[in-house]
Amino acid sequence: MRRLWDSDLWRFARLRPAVVFGLCVIIVNLCLAAVGPAIAPYPTQAPAGNSLIPPNGTYWFGTDVSGMDIFSRVLAAPRIDLTIALVSTVIAFVCGVALGVVSGFFAQGERPGRIASTLIMRIADIVQAFPMFVFALALVGLSGPSAKNVIIALAFLNIPFFLRLTRSAVLQVRSKTFVEAAICAGNSRLRAAFFHVMPNALAPAMVHFSTTVGFSILLTAGLSFVGAGVPPPTPELGLMIQVGAQNMITGQWWTALFPGLCLAVTVLAFSLFGDNLRIFLDPTNRR
């Protein structure tokens, strides 16, 4: 415990309230993803009272148009939102890093490797030529709205980001002498790439991980908001905002305000944590 208190990371965090805030929100979200639906005071997918009750002692965040308790649904939402975001980001991370290592390691060298490396980069270029939200909308729309298809679409769209980050890190590590030594010692090129270079080139992708989770939550909510995400009445933040949107215009402000606030705070926490992790790990920023 004493060592944790004295560690660089903790000293850095104490100076930056944003890190503490981000970490707290992330932990709360993870806990809610685990137990949220169980601790919700009312059913999360069925009416709990009258339609459109303003927030009060019984219904803390009020009820929506079909009488479902908004507070309970907000508690239950991280399970679906966070799961989609985490799973898709893990897939994007693994695929992106693997492709990044291959394309970075073989960027210089023999012909077949070089061609593969260029090919990977060109494909990434093309995927990123499409505006992200429209592409996600099309992918999910064509394959049918479901949590699984949202995960696949988001993973696919996030791969190029991890790929580029890893590739540029690999290009730097690749020229170090220890890589040459590893190959001279009889390691195959692939082994050298994945066992010797990759561990030293993971940092940028890992730092990007947190930001991507936040961004994926935002995209998931956005897709559900327009009806191309998880199907209703799943307790999901984007869906809840969508249900509340009509009521917002006629003055029932609580219907979309609370889910949206949760969404904004969650995404903000992940992106702040990611940003600060990058600053912490960046050697030029050390004082």
Partner 1 sequence: MRRFALFAGKRLLFTIPQLFAVSVIVFFLIRLLPGDPSYMLAGPYASPQRVQEVRRSLGLDQPIITQYVRYLERLSQGDFGTSWRTSQPVLSDIRERLPATLELVVGAVLLSVVIGIPLGVAVATSRGGVLERLVFFYGMLAGSLPDFWIGLLLILIFFYFLGWAPAPVGQLDFAVSSPDHITGAYVIDALLTGNGPAFWSACAQLVLPLATLVLVYMPLVLKTARSAMEEMLYSGFVLQARASGLPRWMQIRYALRNALPPVITVIGIEFWFLLGGAVLVETIFAWGGLGQYAVESVINSDYAPLQAVVLVTAVFTTIVFLIVDILYYLIDPRISV
State which residue, 120 or 267, has the beta carbon closest to partner 1: 267
Any contact of residue 257 with partner 1 (CB under 8 A)?
yes
Q: How far apart are CA 12 and CA 19, in angstroms?
A: 9
Any contact of residue 135 with partner 1 (CB under 8 A)?
yes
Q: How far apart are CA 167 and CA 173, in angstroms?
A: 10
Residues in 181-210 that interact with partner 1 by CB under 8 A? none
Q: How far is the CB of 244 from partner 1 (least distance, A)?
A: 8
Any contact of residue 148 with partner 1 (CB under 8 A)?
no
State which residue, 166 or 220, has the beta carbon closest to partner 1: 220
Q: How far is the CB of 233 from partner 1 (least distance, A)?
A: 17
Any contact of residue 241 with partner 1 (CB under 8 A)?
yes
Any contact of residue 94 with partner 1 (CB under 8 A)?
no
Among the listed ranges 24-32, 40-48, 57-65, 141-149, the one in contact with partner 1 (CB under 8 A) is 141-149
Which residues lie near partner 1 (CB under 8 A)?
18, 122, 125-127, 129-143, 214-215, 218, 221-222, 225-228, 241, 244-245, 248-251, 253, 256-257, 260, 263-264, 267-268, 270-272, 275
